Structure 1
């Protein structure tokens, strides 16, 4: 087994930032080096305008991803919900525009890329939009009850949701890297059938893994998620 770590590029869900994955670093198994990717409009980039287009977001993330992957034994990409489509398209960009091999792509809490959302949130007022986000996420963040917090995060969250709702695959061609799709067994937003459609997005191998919990299962399952990542990626780089 290689002693050089595999870099896992981590893409957060809508409204979240790289900080979501900081705690994951504390439970990351040996052999994995987590590299959370940061989008503008949040945390240390609150002074920047958030992206509203997946292609633009991926183009801006690619140099950071290449830098983060330097010196690693291989690259994996992990993303949840909005992060899943960003992970998929970032993997495509790495395959098409760099010499860096992508060992594995992990998509979580998302239907296959050709089966996106139909309902749109454009034009909703703040209260309706927050209710829509609760529907999409499957829970209500208590901070939304704080007017100052809500005013701070809503512009970025609106941009993220718009980016997700308007997403269409950037190519009709599947990627080469194998894909593992993770889904909460009780997820009422993404069905098993729709999640398994990620099999059409790769010419490599495909695997489907169910985890205990609902759509946001990963908030309580960091170690279990990383065990799945480690097992699959180490198999690819051995």
Structure 2
């Protein structure tokens, strides 16, 4: 790996997988090595049981990311919504184990100490999907195909349960710099909520808005990557 590159591990949002971020790899931003993190229950890990607990996910994913980066490599983490809390807890574990964590990018998420009040876990299928659509701010194309819904539902239910039951593992601040990202028209996560991440680090904090709503990153992948490539962590 080029020593000037930053290893960027990307954590998916609920119902998504590494395939979303494999499209980011194709953009070939020279300052970044994009590492799509796969969760069980989807794509090539379809037969594996999905996580329903963040601590369980972190126990597997943190060593996987460290191994993918290799010894002595600068690591950054990016996560959107559910991916943001996964990235945060993985950041805690990487700091604890002495890895070279250089930046945490959290997107479309309130701070980790502010859990959801509205819940979809346990609802009947149609109500559950309607709730997820409302929480996510977009409609997954698979929702219109009954066969795909049947495939997607177990993973989506597990992801939503994991997110809704999540409680931060510690109140001790991180030392890594944090950048909170948000779509400027996001109706699900306010500017104030995104700003809550400033309280969870002793390091520098930055807040950035990009054009779009809650799922701005679907339409702005290159802009998101270039923002991260231009951060002090890559400078």
What are the residue-to-residue correspondences of 1:83-102 with 2, within 5 Å?
Answer: 83-97=83-97, 99-102=98-101
Aligned equivalent of 2:18:
18
Alignment check: 8 A CA contact 1:76 1:105 kept? yes
Check the 8 A contact 1:73/1:237 in 2, yes or no. no
Contact 2:108 2:214 in 1 (8 A): yes
Of 87-96 and 68-77, more deviation after overlay is shown by: 68-77
Kept in 1, the 8 Å contact 2:72–2:100? The answer is no
Native 8 Å contact 2:14 2:82 kept in 1: yes
Contact kept in structure 1, 2:4 and 2:234, CA below 8 Å: no
Partner of 2:167: 168
- The alpha carbon displacement at 1:71 in A equals 5.4
Q: What residue in structure 2 maps to residue 146 of structure 1?
A: 145
C-alpha distance in structure 2 between counterparts of 1:14 and 1:72, whole Å: 31
Query: TM-score normalized by structure 2?
Result: 0.96
Tell me which stretches of 4 or more aligned residues in structure 1 moved more than 3 Å. Answer: none
Q: Which residue of 210, 232, 236 maps to 2:233? A: 236
For residues 15-60 of structure 1, the C-alpha deviation after alignment (integer angstroms, 9 at most, x for no partner) is 1000100111111311210111111111011111101111110101
Structure 2's unaligned 5+ residue stretches are: none
C-alpha displacement at 1:62, in angstroms? 1.6
- Alpha-carbon distance in structure 2 between the residues aligned to 1:52 and 1:206: 30
Cα distance change of structure 1 residues 49 and 168 upon mapping to structure 2, 3 Å threshold: same
The aligned counterpart of 1:206 is 205
- Runs (5+) with no aligned partner, structure 1: none
Shift in alpha-carbon separation, 1:72–1:4, aligned structure 2, 3 A: farther
